[in-house]
Structure 1
């Protein structure tokens, strides 16, 4: 059964919104950041935002029917909705799947701003040659930015393994977009460049400063992050604020801006491991087909998101000052990221917030 964890009134200032989408936020409301004690988080009600509360039950019913475990909506940093389903609780960790790629993106940016790495440099500068089975000249074309943007040119049909035997040349780096697990090599790059383990650097530079819980777990050839839903919401709030946490710039804002905009001309809907809405076309994992139209038609054009297998969702919408999290099992059939669930869910969300 679904349970309401937090949904009560607190003091909130509300003023009439502009017709300009970028100025819908009440002009005198300051962004809220929860303290790092992991227990306190200010809330507000949907009614205080003049949302349509009559449509909340339909949204929750849909989430529960689609195997959701948790759902959080932040507005301006404060919790507006927080629900848990099917025995899941606020303290239960769950895996981010590929939505956690965005964590790797952020930490790579931190390592670059601390001058440990340069994302324009080739990967082999940091982890040595022979990390692929590509000819050396082709391997040396692959930069850290190619891994961030999924344009390594390595064959994506060899499964998720990242041993050299799995990483075969298929095209020159930068000439082909393909969703590939090879991005995890960026964690090796950071570890080598900083002379620290990935976990230590991640915890010191990102996890602890914003009060996240959880940790990395090895699943076959992949490293997956697991945490509470609120921890994902904390990272979403950092993303909403372009890498700034309550006045401290955790991730360089210029780099974060690059991360959440088109990173190459092959897949307009892809940044540095962030999916981008509102573009004229997009490509999906495991195909070279280009689809016309925007990624999630029902969602705001300025939304960027982390999307993971089994419908893990991290949506960030700057124009509406929203962060929306959905964790759970697969809604319908197994997917690597995007699914029909996204568009239907956004139809239900729009019925509440618009």
Structure 2
């Protein structure tokens, strides 16, 4: 390929060809993508928007990063590139990422009892931080939303009985199983982690810790994270980021916790995030829980939940169609914000169409 060039120029060309791209204050942009595959993706993601009934797929933002460059971006509704969008349960994965920085500081271990960092868990001494990260606290929690508000633990936590002190409300629940033995998705588990972080890093550092530990090193300038009345971050639900800023977290995870020349997250922490919970009982329709991230992994009793995406795909997911997909093998990060109310949107369909538009051959 480089026949006839002096050796030094050949080496420089090779290094340039393999150099990684990282965003500075703004993302650098890659070549424009067009063609029938992109049109099919846009037809699916951006159908005519019904703002009266709020039915159907209602994508607010779709952004694609490939090889560290912004190659596609489109917005709808009131959302723009400058909108710090409510991420809902993507907040859970963000809290896991913040905790990863504290883990790298040596401030806790996964097997540590959660009560060490949050004393109101005294009735649950066997519960570990790893159990909370797997949504396997064993607490009898009902994660029902507006469709069943009267029996919903999460609605009570966010809006009624528990909204003043969400972690204390969660800790007061009885156990239905021993900690670490069964998966039950719980926004309460995530808020217990947020309360534990206050002790892990200390009350003086805590109010700024997501910014100093994660957002500022990644160049995220406009994040908002609400707290409850006790000053504890609502890790289950209330982080707000622009699509471009959220994609920085995706790139960090795609590159195994490394940002430029800094290993911001330990590699073993990222490996834990991306390893299925060993006691998960598979449901064919659901993504597989990892360490507060969702995985496209085949587990006993079920094939991959997103069969048209590679097995290394993992995601942060939220209510009403929020999603950030990370596909390391394709060097892709896809951020999708939405305002979906009727569960028509399908992760696998968007991934299938996006891979046809933006990636090479998908590996099994």
Fold-level match, TM-score > 0.5? yes
The correspondence of residues 226-305 of structure 1 with structure 2, limited to 5 A, is 226-267=240-281, 269-280=288-299, 292-305=302-315
Determine if the alignment matches structure 1 residue 30 to structure 2 residue 19. Answer: yes
Contact 1:242 1:253 in 2 (8 A): yes
Helix, strand or coil for the counterpart of 1:71? strand
Deviation readout 1:84-124 (Å, 9 max, x if unpaired): 11232110110111122111111222212212222211111
How far apart are residue 218 of structure 1 and its match?
4.3
SS of aligned partner of 2:27: coil
* Residue of structure 1 in register with 2:201 after alignment: 194
Label 1:279 to 1:199 Cα distance change in 2 as closer, same or farther (>3 A). farther
> What is the alpha-carbon distance in structure 2 between the residues aligned to residue 217 and residue 328 of structure 1?
20
Distance 2:170 2:289 in 1: 26
The aligned counterpart of 2:109 is 118
Q: Could you give the per-residue CA deviations for residues 114-146 of structure 1, whole angstroms, max 9, x where no partner exists? A: 122222111111121x337xxx3xx00100010
Deviations 1:65-88 (A, max 9, x none): 221111111111101111111232
| RMSD value, Cα | 2.3
Check if 1:307 corresponds to 2:317: yes
| Shift, 1:193, TM fit | 2.1
Q: How many residue pairs end up in the alignment?
A: 302
Distance 1:165 1:173 in 2: 13
| 1:154-177 Cα shifts (integer Å, max 9, x gaps) | 112251224157522111011111
Find the counterpart in structure 1 of residue 348 from structure 2. Answer: 343
**Deviation of the 1:223 alpha carbon:** 4.6
CA displacement 1:230-252 (0-9 Å, x = unmatched)? 01111111111111111111111
Counterpart residue number, 1:64: 46
Is the Cα–Cα contact under 8 Å of residues 184 and 223 in structure 1 kept in the other structure? no
3-state DSSP of counterpart to 2:153: coil
- Report the Cα distance in structure 2 between the residues aligned to 1:120 and 1:257, rounded to whole angstroms: 16
CA distance in 2, matches of 1:164, 1:75: 40
Regions of 4+ moved over 6 Å: none
Q: From 136, 146, 156, give the equivalent of 2:131.
A: 146
SS in 2 for 1:208: helix
Q: Which residue of 2 aligns with 1:10?
A: none
Instruction: Give 2:5's aligned residue.
Output: none
Name 2:76's counterpart in structure 1: 85
The alignment partner of 1:83 has SS state of strand
The separation in 1 between residues aligned to 2:196 and 2:91, in whole angstroms, is: 17
Q: In the aligned structure 2, how far is the partner of 1:87 from the partner of 1:189? A: 36
Q: Match of 2:141?
A: 156
Report the TM-score, using the length of structure 2 for normalisation.
Answer: 0.77
Q: Distance in 1 between matches of 2:103 and 2:69?
A: 31
Structure 2 equivalent of residue 94 of structure 1: 85
Q: 1:219 to 1:308 in 2, by over 3 A?
A: farther
2:306 and 2:272 mapped to 1: Cα distance? 21
The 3-state SS of whatever aligns with 1:81 is strand
Once the two structures are superposed, residues 171-222 of structure 1 have per-residue CA deviations (whole angstroms, 9 ceiling, x without a partner) of 1011111001122111111111221354411111101100112111248975
Which secondary structure state, in structure 1, belongs to the residue aligned with residue 28 of structure 2? coil
SS of the residue corresponding to residue 209 of structure 1 reads: helix
- Secondary structure of the residue that 1:70 maps to in structure 2? strand
Instruction: State the SS of the aligned residue for 1:316.
Output: strand
What is the TM-score of this pair, normalised by structure 1?
A: 0.79
Match of 1:316 in 2: 326
The aligned counterpart of 1:285 is none
Q: Which stretch shifts more, 183-192 or 211-220?
A: 211-220
Q: Counterpart of 2:147?
A: none
Query: Would the aligned equivalents of 1:105 and 1:273 in 2 still touch at CA under 8 Å?
Result: yes
User: Where do 5+ consecutive residues of structure 1 fail to align?
Assistant: 1-25, 282-290
CA distance in 2, matches of 1:340, 1:233: 20
User: Cα distance, 1:41 vs. partner?
Assistant: 1.7
Q: Secondary structure at the match of 1:349?
A: helix
**Bigger CA radius of gyration:** 2
The CA deviation at 1:263 is 3.2
Shift of 1:58: 2.2
